[in-house]
Amino acid sequence: MKPDLSGLSELEINLATRVSVGDALTRSARMFGERAAVVDRGDSVTYRDLDAAAESVGRALLDAGLERQQPVAMLMGNSWQFLSTYFGCAKAGLVAMPVNLVLAPEDIVWILRDSGTTTIVTDAAFVPLIEKILPALDAVTIVVVSGEGAPAEIAGRPVLSWTEIASRAVDRPLEVLVDDRDTAQCLYTSGTTSRPKGVLTSHTSLMVGGLTNALMQGAGWGSEPTVLLNVLPLFHTTGLNTLVMPTLFIGGTVVLPGPFDPGAVLDAIEAQRVTTVMMLPIMYAAALAAQGQRARDLSSVQLAIYAMAPMPATLLAQVDAAFPNASVILGSGQTEVVPATVLQWPEHRATKPDSWGPAVPTVEVGIMSDGELEATGEEGEIVYRGPHVCSGYWNNADANTAAFAHGWFHSGDVGYLDAEQVVWFTDRLKDIIKSGGENVSSVEVERIVAAVPGVVECSVVGLPDERWGEAVTAVVVASDRSVSDAELEAAVIAYAKANLAGFKVPKRVLVVDELPKTATGKARKHELRATLRA
């Protein structure tokens, strides 16, 4: 049973019934025009202004020649301009592609080439980076710079002023065809090799995931809006999709306090009467220390979320105490599936603090081995299904074939489900370390460490760490026992710092006599991790 829509234009039925992230901002601006959508380092930007700038930016990108579903690379710090650009892309039917700013320039070049982007939107602060990489990016013809002091051109490409295009008057709303399953967002995430993969997420996924997050967070609608403090980078799914998007969907206020500073975070919570905060465990620890030096009023916080990894019990108890009116919950997910699980219910918090909690209502979780679902308690790969699972990876059929085999998304994490359907993470299947919120490819680090003079072989693993979640740890075998362990460690660190992005540099280097190996000579990382943990 399909309706006969032959009397309508495609755009008419599309506008009336579609799922579009751009429409979500339109709606919030209609409803809450004068309310602060963003408080950017103290400056309020209303929904009306955020939406108007998004309309103008979206229109300007189309006027510049961009076509439906083309990517727009965003090399931007956390700011209201970031959010207007993101929603402008959504309104225009383009793909917003925030790029991880802590990657090495060569990685950024690789991503921009792989995506085929013609357009970069950036901040004046990143002009030196753009000047460095642009000569390697022949396809890029449009550069938009936000902020003061941008040059008139970079590497031969004329530069557009973000401020100018965002303030152009528009005489009518930007209404173009957007399909529910059009790609709205592309975020590159590290794979098991050094090649990042572009995770494509549709409007439907972002809407269903956003509503689910809002529901999980008990988000305030109406006269008592959510006030979210976001300190996480907006080029990451956690800050962007878990927090900021659902808050803007329902007319809340997003507070962006600038680069992470524990005192400034506490000041912002007090000044803005923040209701919702999400930080990594290491950030909570820093904030608690700052609170110990000078106590701020944190009573407005109703929800304190931590992410990436279970929090040590002592720290968790301190966070509970510091936020007297807040539920403190753990959210887990990955760029491909966000949200996936929450550790939220009081009885689980009390008895299973080291678990990930159960799946959210729009996700089904299973444990799979060899294409079959495992019974309760059996270990295997954690797999997910649901309407907000990503659409797949860009330009990577092999990765898609592997990721969606047997009709489930394969997370790369190993674990089991208990009788209450609570997820317990036990190991990483793919060779990825999650350190301080970033994915680090063990293989990439191993390739660098193996090139250090004096290292005969090495294995890089993640070990549990209170500060980083997982600490990148290099285990090396020395070629020459006359070199001291300390000298070799220093050499490894120095070489890694010269050749890797900072967050990939090993936090620890251990020198061993030999690595545990499989029959085929592959390092037995599972065994290595278990030994090192013990």
d(Cα 188, Cα 99) in Å, to the nearest integer? 7
From residue 120, alpha-carbon distances to 22, 115, 372 in Å are 20, 12, 44
Q: Out of 54, 144, 200, 448, name the contact with its own copies by CB under 8 A.
A: 200
Decide: is 408 part of the binding site for its own copies (CB under 8 A). Answer: yes
| Residue closer to its own copies (CB basis): 212 or 275 | 212
Decide: is 401 part of the binding site for its own copies (CB under 8 A). Answer: yes
Decide: is 295 part of the binding site for its own copies (CB under 8 A). Answer: no
Least distance in angstroms from the C-beta of 82 to its own copies: 20
What part of residues 161-190 is at the interface with its own copies (CB under 8 A)?
Answer: 175, 180-181, 183, 186
141-149, 230-238, 306-314, 391-399 -> range binding its own copies (CB under 8 A): 391-399
74-82, 397-405, 480-488, 521-529 -> range binding its own copies (CB under 8 A): 397-405
Q: Which residue carries 């109703």 as its tokens?
A: 302
From residue 82, alpha-carbon distances to 74, 109, 373 in Å are 8, 20, 41
What part of residues 25-44 is at the interface with its own copies (CB under 8 A)?
Answer: 26-28, 30-31
From residue 21, alpha-carbon distances to 54, 88, 201, 402, 447 in Å are 12, 10, 11, 29, 40
Mask of contacts with its own copies, 228-267, x by CB under 8 A?
---------------------xxx----------------
Decide: is 291 part of the binding site for its own copies (CB under 8 A). Answer: no
Least distance in angstroms from the C-beta of 186 to its own copies: 6
Cis peptide before 339 (omega within 30 of 0): yes
Q: Out of 64, 102, 125, 208, name the contact with its own copies by CB under 8 A.
A: 208
Q: Which residue carries 């295997």 as its tokens?
A: 380
| Residue closer to its own copies (CB basis): 246 or 310 | 246
What part of residues 9-28 is at the interface with its own copies (CB under 8 A)?
Answer: 11-20, 23-24, 26-28
Q: Are 334 and 356 in contact (CB under 8 A)?
A: no
Q: Are 162 and 173 in contact (CB under 8 A)?
A: no
| Residue closer to its own copies (CB basis): 23 or 446 | 23
Decide: is 347 part of the binding site for its own copies (CB under 8 A). Answer: yes
Phi and psi angles of residue 459, each rounded to the nearest 5 degrees, phi first: -140, 135
Q: Out of 99, 216, 228, 523, name the contact with its own copies by CB under 8 A.
A: 216
Q: Are 130 and 107 in contact (CB under 8 A)?
A: no
Of the CA atoms within 13 Å of residue 348, those in its CB half-sphere come to 23
What part of residues 93-112 is at the interface with its own copies (CB under 8 A)?
Answer: 95
Decide: is 71 part of the binding site for its own copies (CB under 8 A). Answer: yes
Least distance in angstroms from the C-beta of 524 to its own copies: 30
Decide: is 326 part of the binding site for its own copies (CB under 8 A). Answer: no
d(Cα 132, Cα 194) in Å, to the nearest integer? 21
d(Cα 243, Cα 238) in Å, to the nearest integer? 7
Least distance in angstroms from the C-beta of 100 to its own copies: 17
| Nearest to 305, CA basis, from 252, 250, 357 | 357
What part of residues 366-385 is at the interface with its own copies (CB under 8 A)?
Answer: 384-385
Count CB atoms within 10 A of the CB of residue 430: 18
Decide: is 305 part of the binding site for its own copies (CB under 8 A). Answer: no
Q: Out of 345, 477, 485, 499, name the contact with its own copies by CB under 8 A.
A: 345
Q: Out of 56, 100, 122, 204, name the contact with its own copies by CB under 8 A.
A: 204
d(Cα 463, Cα 19) in Å, to the nearest integer? 41
- Fill in the amino acid letter for 486: A
Q: Out of 3, 149, 324, 521, name the contact with its own copies by CB under 8 A.
A: 3
| Nearest to 440, CA basis, from 191, 254, 78 | 191
